Amino acid sequence: MTDLFAPLQTLLDARHSCRAFRSDPVPEDVIERIVMAAGRAPSWCNAQPWRVTVTRGAETDRFRAALLDAVAHDAPQPDLPWPESYPGAHGARRRECGLQLYEAVGIARSDRTARAEQSMQNYHLFGAPHVAIIHSEAALGPYGAMDTGGFVTAFMLAATALGVASIAQASVAAHAPMIRRHFGLSDARLILCAISFGLPDPDHPANRFRTHRAGLSEIYDPRG
Ligand SMILES: Cc1cc2nc3c(=O)[nH]c(=O)nc-3n(C[C@H](O)[C@H](O)[C@H](O)COP(=O)(O)O)c2cc1C
């Protein structure tokens, strides 16, 4: 084993979704380092189908306002179809992480109004000073999207390594037509997800829980 594994494991363990940010901006050179590190992700034929549109300052606020307006008036129209169902263990894990969040912020299971309000935090970008819109070349289809998923993970790991907290958000990408209009992106770009990022609010209860992971036997299917 090389000496790279221990720092990698530390980084993987340290990353988690942040759902409350401080308003302080991330320095531009730090954002550029995160983007360049994420660009090291592998892709089929090295096509590198990703591109990332990143807001700062008043532009983040303009986008937040446009997003909230779209949520109030438009039906969701994601470029990637949302899951039809979460069978078996997938559904159980989905329920568990939702319950962990509601428990952390003190929302009762039965309180639908409070749950909806917490969910609306997605469209306030959890107070983040920056949002990264992750898009891929539509012509590259699902494999282009898959490659860009690797970019998303590398982006969030690089951010963690530089002390920047983040959260991937499919909820934001549900307003793909508005996002393309807002940023002047062509129809040839698939809007895959957003990543809100910034410095974490360490005292906020939404940031106090950590999700679990399946054990080896649930992931690994050795043969022979
Ligand atoms: C592609 C993608 C989309 C996600 N969309 C959302 C979202 O819209 N809202 C949200 O609160 N969390 C979202 N998440 C965060 C997941 O809920 C989170 O990664 C998962 O529960 C594991 O927790 P962790 O990131 O803290 O390890 C998303 C994560 C990914 C990878």
Read off the tokens for 182. 């807002």
Question: What residues flank ligand 1, with Cβ below 6 Å?
Answer: 16-17, 97, 122, 167-171, 193, 211
Tell me, what's the pLDDT at 2?
A: 81
Read off the tokens for 40. 């090291």
| DSSP label at residue 200 | B
The dihedral built from the CA positions of residue 218, 214, 165 and 161, taken in this order, carries a sign that is negative
Contacts of 51 (CB under 8 A, 6+ apart): 135, 136, 189
CA 46 to ligand 1 center in whole angstroms: 26
Strands (E), 80-187: 130-137, 165-169
- Coil vs helix vs strand at 17: strand
- Work out which ligand 1 atom sits closest to the CA atom of 153: 31
Contacts of 11 (CB under 8 A, 6+ apart): 157, 160, 161
- Coil vs helix vs strand at 146: helix
Q: What is the mean pLDDT of residues 6-21?
A: 98
Best CA proximity match to 107, nearest among 93, 120, 125: 120
The dihedral built from the CA positions of residue 14, 20, 25 and 31, taken in this order, carries a sign that is positive
CA 157 to ligand 1 center in whole angstroms: 14
- Work out which ligand 1 atom sits closest to the CA atom of 171: 8
* Confidence bin at 123 (pLDDT 50/70/90): very high
Express as a percent the part of the chain with pLDDT over 90.
99
CA 123 to ligand 1 center in whole angstroms: 14
CA 2 to ligand 1 center in whole angstroms: 31
- Work out which ligand 1 atom sits closest to the CA atom of 101: 11
CA 16 to ligand 1 center in whole angstroms: 9
Dump pLDDT digits (tens) for 182-206. 999 999 999 999 999 999 999 999 9
Query: Residue 33, exposed/middle/buried by CB under 10 A (0-12, 13-18, 19+)?
Result: middle
Gyration radius of the chain over CA positions: 18
Query: How far apart (Å, rounded) are the C-alpha atoms in residues 15 and 207?
Result: 12
Statement: residue 68 has pLDDT above 80: yes
Query: How far apart (Å, rounded) are the C-alpha atoms in residues 108 and 116?
Result: 12
Please tell me the pTM assigned to this model. 0.98
Query: How far apart (Å, rounded) are the C-alpha atoms in residues 153 and 149?
Result: 6
- Work out which ligand 1 atom sits closest to the CA atom of 126: 11
First CA to last CA distance, the chain: 24
Which residue CA neighbors atom 27 of ligand 1 most closely?
16
Q: What is the mean pLDDT of residues 166-178?
A: 98
